[in-house]
């Protein structure tokens, strides 16, 4: 355990053009749960007119990484993703989706998170698991 205060998380909307374009907005950030939403539009479409799966994959990776990083930072560590497995279950063209990330397992060296993305009728749009490694941060 360290007496070093945990680092502040970056402002997502300003962290990079990629993250801003993906559109994830956060409502709740905690060490075992992260929630938010994305307002989907044609800006998120692939060439055939539906939301690109990368939008969901990015949201899943981002939500899990934020939660895992929050938990790891409390112990002076950083969390880095090592696997993201996303399943796309329902196509969409627009609308708001809810993103809910929950820790499944948080150990000394690794974490496993599940992230569910649902539409406004509470139907599952995508679901993913992200495995992260807890590491000593770079200085």
pLDDT per residue as tens digits for the range 76-132: 999 999 999 999 999 999 999 999 999 999 999 999 999 999 999 999 999 999 999
Read off the pLDDT of each residue in 31-58 and give the average, rounded to a whole number.
96
pLDDT at 52: 96
Predicted structure pTM score: 0.89
Report the C-alpha gap between 51 and 110 in whole angstroms: 31
Which alpha helices (H) appear in the chain, and where do they start and end?
A: 12-15, 17-22, 53-73
* Residue 37 contacts residue 98 (beta carbons within 8 Å): yes
pLDDT at 16: 77
Read off the pLDDT of each residue in 70-74 and give the average, rounded to a whole number.
94
* Residue 94 contacts residue 137 (beta carbons within 8 Å): no
The CATH code that applies to domain 19-135 is: 3.10.129.10
Report the C-alpha gap between 34 and 28 in whole angstroms: 5
pLDDT at 8: 58
Report the C-alpha gap between 6 and 94 in whole angstroms: 37
> Which tokens hold the place of 35?
């929630």
Residue 65 phi, psi dihedral angles, 5° rounding:
-65, -40
Confidence of residue 4 (pLDDT cuts 50, 70, 90): very low
* Residue 81 contacts residue 64 (beta carbons within 8 Å): yes
């Amino acid at each position: 355990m360290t007496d070093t205060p945990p680092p502040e998380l970056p402002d997502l909307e300003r962290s990079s053009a990629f993250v801003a374009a993906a559109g994830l907005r956060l409502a709740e950030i905690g060490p075992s749960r992260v929630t938010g939403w994305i307002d989907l539009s044609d800006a998120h479409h692939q060439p055939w007119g539906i939301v690109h799966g990368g939008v969901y994959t990015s949201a899943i990776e981002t939500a899990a990484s934020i939660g895992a990083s929050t938990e790891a930072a409390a112990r002076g560590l950083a969390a880095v993703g090592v696997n993201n497995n996303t399943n796309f279950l329902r196509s969409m063209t627009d609308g708001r989706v809810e993103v809910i990330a929950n820790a499944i397992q948080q150990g000394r060296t690794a974490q496993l998170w599940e992230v569910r993305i649902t539409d406004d009728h509470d139907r599952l749009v995508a679901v993913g698991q992200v495995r992260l490694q807890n590491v000593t941060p770079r200085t």
